[in-house]
Structure 1
Amino acid sequence: MDEEIASIKRNDTWELTSLPKGNKATGVKWVYKTKTNQDGKVEKYKAWLVVKDYKQRHGIDFDKVFAPVAKVDTIRLTTAIAAQNQ
């Protein structure tokens, strides 16, 4: 969790502001995952701080949309399929 918070600060992906009158704060939650190696032994623990965006309404609670970054494996697969289909 400390690594995730450090990454958020290092990448400057958040800004502390005052909540405008009449608005509710959107909550966050921690998501955890255990990464294992091929032998099934724990390699490392991962933690992500994510927003509970299912409670937000466009134009009321937010006006910008976050687009997640594609994983390298997804780009590789898409490129391979495109190459096969010319």
Structure 2
Amino acid sequence: MQFLRNKTWELTELPKGKSVLGVKWVYKTKLHSNGEVDKNKAGLVVKGYKQKFGVDYEEIFTPITRLETVRLLLSLAAQKGWQVHQMDVKSSFLNGFLEEEVYVEQPPGYVKN
């Protein structure tokens, strides 16, 4: 699991005055074009709707690349003879840094005292 491998979190006691965010599992079935099941996927998401702006967080940022930007960079690379590498980051959010402390409950089915 990427969370453990990247040391993204640690189990701790909830300090006084801090609130905890709940989590839930989200399941999705990926299908082939003919309708057959390709694979089942599961993801753990935080119920962030309980957070309050200005109390629990100050800003929201989601890095998104526009297709026009990708085309521009590829055309520059072709003109300049640059090498282009591709990579797929499935867990890029694990590499971000938070200034705030965030407390999340243990996922359902995960119990460690």
TM range (shorter): 0.5 to 0.7
Taking structure 2 as the reference length, the TM-score comes to: 0.49
Corresponding pairs, count: 73
Greater Rg by CA: 2
How big is the alpha-carbon RMSD for the aligned residues of Structure 1 and Structure 2? 3.0
Taking structure 1 as the reference length, the TM-score comes to: 0.61
SS of equivalent to 1:13: coil
What code does the residue aligned with 2:9 have? Answer: W
Q: In 2, are the aligned partners of 1:28 and 1:49 still within 8 Å (CA)?
A: yes
Richer in strand (by share): 1
- 1:52 corresponding residue in structure 2: 47
Name structure 2 gaps, 5 residues minimum: 74-113
Name structure 1 gaps, 5 residues minimum: 1-5
Richer in helix (by share): 1
* 1:14 to partner: Cα distance: 1.9
1:42 and 2:37 correspond:
yes
Matched residues, percent identical? 50
2:25 to 17, 27, 30: 30
